[in-house]
Amino acid sequence: MSYVSRCWEILERSKTGPIMDENDFLPKRFTPALKKLIREYDLKYDPATPCPSDEAMADRLFQAAVDLVVRVGYYNTDTHRIIQITPEEIREALYTAPRQYWVGGGRDARLFEHRMVEDRRPPFCILSPDITVDEKYHQSMCLAYLKEPLLDGLCGPILEETFGHLIESGGPTEISGCTQHIYNQKLAARLVGRPEVFMVAVGTAEHDSGQIAVSNEQWGVRKTDARLVGALTEFKTADTLLNRSLHYAQYGCHTGHLTGPIYGGWCLGSEGTAVTIAAYSLLGLVVHGATFNQHFPFHLNYGSNTTRELLWSIAMAGQALSRNTGLLYTSNGFANAGPMTRMLFLETAVHAMVSTVTGWHLWEMASTRNKYRNRATPLEARLGAEVGHAVARRGLTREQVNELASRLLAEYESMAADAPIGSEYHECYNPAKAVPTTEHLDLYKRVRDELAGLGLVFPY
């Protein structure tokens, strides 16, 4: 069954499935089922191994994820009904899902394919600042990221104003802002000689109308690009999100499923967060027809995923999906520290190495927990991509990465709660030329040399 055919069945169930009060869904259905599955499948977090290598547990975790989807379903907040999914549908969707896709076009085309645990093929690297940016810096930041040599795809910074007007969801300013966003990205790509590079666009869109407005092969989001459809935390969707999935499928572009399960919330601890990550990948495939899933699990208190509790979840979910599916999924780093700080570079390196060795592709890097405007630069993303390539090319094992990650965690983990927010883009980069300042580049080089001293062999 094609996704569009399945989509109509999903839409029907969102209107006819079991009805439930939204306030009851998480405390009475989702979390109790998750808690029971953690016990049933004997899933146990070990803080001493931020990068575990327990393959039997990874397989049990995958089965727990399947069971979670089947037992809980997906809640539509508009209809107050549960979209139920069967094990047979999951198996069919997994069997028929392609293990690879060509994205982008021309000489910028890249193969985006499933990775194995300890795969020696480097991860597909989507670079993104993951923050809002002043309108005057938007195109400069797009240019700066597109200059990165290991970039396979770009998700550009987010606009909050368009021509001086605050962007309001669902209104004409959103359509203007989304149009301005994709124009800036496409022009930047042409200026740096990468006119058909793969893009995930546009982050400025909050409403389905904003995304639909920029579907255009000539000047907008092309069919070789990707769009995102988010999940509402946890295990919830809405008609506006289902609208996106249907439009993406009928337009013919790639769909990315965006999820952020919260450690310390309804997902409970590390074990529950890992199960939820894997389950979201299954929901992305069955409900939204996703080409890939983008996951950014984060800590309820810190808002990041570079401490050991979340690294363990990322590592276990990655292994569960790698060993039991042919799906594609990107690990979206969320750091505590901000640009032009040693801590941010260390957090990025640890996130990239743990993700890469456990089967993930990379999406780097949201600094300062994605909370501060203008606080992101391509240099932390560059380091993450370089670390990912280094881990894969040298064939590092999970045990070796666990040792490296543990040493680096000791350098920054105690500062998670009060990490330095660093500097803004225009303080780290020359916006007119879209190049880093000498100070910023020197810090990046020093940290890279530190990592090389620990035995990480960079490809160049």
Q: State the CATH number of the domain containing residue 278.
A: 3.20.20.460
Q: For 438, left (φ over 0), alpha (ψ -120 to 50), or beta?
A: alpha
CA dihedral (123, 200, 444, 440) in degrees, to 10, reads 170
Nearest to 370 by CA among 380, 361, 355: 380
Query: What's the pLDDT at 23?
Result: 98
* Average pLDDT value for residue range 308-331: 98
Q: Are 208 and 247 in contact (CB under 8 A)?
A: yes
Measured CA to CA in angstroms, residue 314 lies from 235, 267, 278, 362, 454 at distances of 18, 14, 9, 12, 23
Give the pLDDT confidence of 156-215 residue by residue, as tens digits: 999 999 999 999 988 999 999 999 999 999 999 999 999 999 999 999 998 899 999 999
Q: For residue range 336-384, what is the model confidence (pLDDT) as tens digits?
A: 999 999 999 999 999 999 999 999 999 999 999 999 999 999 999 999 9
61: in domain = no
Q: Domain span at residue 104?
A: 100-453
- H or E stretch at 388: helix 378-393
Query: Distance between CA 353 and CA 87 in Å, rounded?
Result: 33
How confident is the model at residue 1, as a pLDDT? 58
pLDDT in tens, 91-149: 999 999 999 999 999 999 999 999 999 999 999 999 999 999 999 999 999 999 999 99
Whether residue 335 contacts residue 347, with contact meaning beta carbons closer than 8 Å, is answered with yes
Structure tokens at 277: 């990550």
| Interacting residues of 197 by C-beta distance below 8 A, sequence separation 6+ | 104, 108, 146, 151, 153, 154, 189
- The answer to whether residue 18 sits within a structural domain is no
Which of 4-8, 121-125, 226-230, 293-297 is predicted with the least confidence, judged by mean pLDDT? 4-8
Q: Is residue 330 part of a domain?
A: yes
Contact assessment for residue 74 and residue 83, using Cβ atoms and an 8 Å cutoff: yes
Let me know: does 297 contact 279? Beta carbons within 8 Å.
no
Report the alpha-carbon distance of residue 351 to residue 269 in Å, rounded: 19
Q: Please report whether residue 238 resides in a domain.
A: yes
Confidence at 308, pLDDT banded by 50, 70, 90: very high
Is the Cβ–Cβ distance between 35 and 248 less than 8 Å?
no
* DSSP designation for 415: G
Position 8 scores a pLDDT of 87
Q: Encode 305-330: b = buried (16+ Cβ within 10 Å), e = exposed.
A: bbbbbbbbbbbbbbbbbbebbebbbb
Strand intervals (E) in 144-287: 153-154, 158-159, 161-162, 165-166, 198-199, 226-230, 236-237, 254-259, 262-263
CB 321 within 8 A of CB 66: no
Give the Cα separation of 8 and 13 in Å (integer): 9
The number of domains in the chain is 1
Percent share of the chain, pLDDT over 70: 99
Q: Of all helices (H) and strands (E), which one includes residue 110?
A: strand 110-113
pLDDT recorded at residue 2: 65
Q: Is 229 part of any domain?
A: yes
Amino acid identity at 4: V
Report the distance separating Cα 270 and Cα 54, nearest Å: 15
Does residue 41 sit within a domain?
no
**Model pTM greater than 0.95?**
yes
163: in domain: yes
Q: Are the C-beta atoms of 126 and 330 separated by less than 8 Å?
A: yes
In a domain, 168, yes or no: yes
Which residue from 318, 356, 314, 360 is spatially nearest to 334, judged by alpha carbons? 314
* Length of the chain measured in residues: 460
**Average pLDDT value for the chain:** 97
Helix extents (H) in 201-290: 208-213, 239-251, 270-288
How far, in Å, CA of 422 to CA of 427, rounded?
Answer: 10
Compute the distance between CA of residue 226 and CA of residue 221 in angstroms, rounded to an integer. 8
Q: Is residue 313 a contact partner of residue 307, using CB atoms and an 8 Å limit?
A: no
* Cα atoms found within 13 Å of the Cα of residue 114, Cβ hemisphere only: 16
Indicate the DSSP class of residue 27: I
pLDDT score at 6: 82
Binned at pLDDT 50, 70 and 90, residue 227 comes out as very high
- What residues does 127 pair with on adjacent strands? 154, 364
The band of 248, judged by pLDDT with boundaries at 50, 70 and 90, is: very high
Phi, psi of 161 (to 5 degrees): -130, 150
